[in-house]
Amino acid sequence: MTSREPILVIKDLHVAVEDKQILKGVNLTINKGEVHALMGRNGSGKSTLGYTLMGHPRYHITQGKVLFKGKDLSEMTADERARAGMYLAFQYPVAIPGVSVSNFLRASVKAVRGQDVPVKEFRKELKEHLTKLGVKEDFLSRYVNDGFSGGEKKRLEILQMALMKPQMALLDETDSGLDIDALKTVSAGITALAGPEMGILLITHYQRILNYVTPQFVHVMQDGQIVLSGSGELAHKLEAEGYDFVTKEPAVATQSRT
């Protein structure tokens, strides 16, 4: 059961990038404890929504409002959003040569928690999550995403999420570039981290990750709007019939349903 307490409320959101309107009236409400999947073709605006919510400076809200834990996101910088409990896992994580995974993770945790974590405590917590994600300890001495496989990059994203303990997780095509074994491992990590205090927005093209991470709600985005919402069964219909069956209808605010 979820607490039915809204953690993210998006109202009539319009977003432009370099004067080009990408989002054209997105409405969505995510309560604590809920997993929502956002699906749609390339270019429909899915990733734009994620970047906007996280505060990317190229994405400008031209109309509408986003509330995170009741606070207007437009008043918060990207780092303030992260400290408040929002997390974005990137579709294409960048490499940072010269920065070890261990140092990167510890710096991330310190930045979000607002204080240094004792080495012994940090190492213990880190090892627990490494085991859950099936990651070897020598992974920590490598440079961030430098020469990583697709599966290793996504494991690092989920490992970082586990340590940062967000209340709202935005997962942008986490299944991209994963073989079936990596997909199962990463999905198991997401499922293990999900809980009654966290909302999850899982952005994806394909239904396959939803075989392992079960959403309560599925939304279809077309041309910058959510045009259809339903239960997890909607994802199976999309997989079977493609996006052509979706007829564009006026987008409405999506609330949780019993």
Residue 69: pLDDT above 50? Answer: yes
pLDDT at 176: 82
Q: Please tell me the distance from the alpha carbon of residue 173 to that of residue 161, in angstroms, as a whole number.
A: 15
pLDDT one-digit tens code per residue, 118-165: 889 999 999 998 888 778 899 999 999 999 988 889 889 999 999 999
Helices 180-193 and 119-133, interaxial angle, to 10°?
Answer: 130
Q: Please tell me the distance from the alpha carbon of residue 155 to that of residue 189, in angstroms, as a whole number.
A: 8
pLDDT one-digit tens code per residue, 75-120: 899 999 999 999 999 888 899 999 999 999 999 999 998 888 888 9
pTM: 0.88
For 117, other C-beta atoms within 10 Å of its C-beta total: 15
pLDDT one-digit tens code per residue, 9-31: 999 999 999 989 999 999 999 99
pLDDT at 3: 53
Q: Which residues contact 161 (CB under 8 A, 6 or more apart)?
A: 87, 89, 169, 193
Judged by phi (left if over 0) then psi (alpha if -120 to 50, else beta), residue 200 lies in: beta
Residue 33: pLDDT above 60? Answer: yes
Q: Please tell me the distance from the alpha carbon of residue 10 to that of residue 8, in angstroms, as a whole number.
A: 7
Residue 63: pLDDT above 80? Answer: yes
pLDDT at 247: 59
For 78, other C-beta atoms within 10 Å of its C-beta total: 14
> Token digits for 88?
């974005």
Domain 6-96+150-245, what architecture?
3-Layer(aba) Sandwich (3.40)
Name the range with the highest mean pLDDT among 10-14, 188-192, 251-255.
Answer: 10-14
Q: Please tell me the distance from the alpha carbon of residue 98 to that of residue 70, in angstroms, as a whole number.
A: 39
239 burial (CB, 10 Å; 0-12 / 13-18 / 19+) is: middle
Q: Which residue has the tokens 């009741």?
A: 70
The fraction of the chain above a pLDDT of 70, given in percent, is: 94
For the chain, the domains span 6-96+150-245
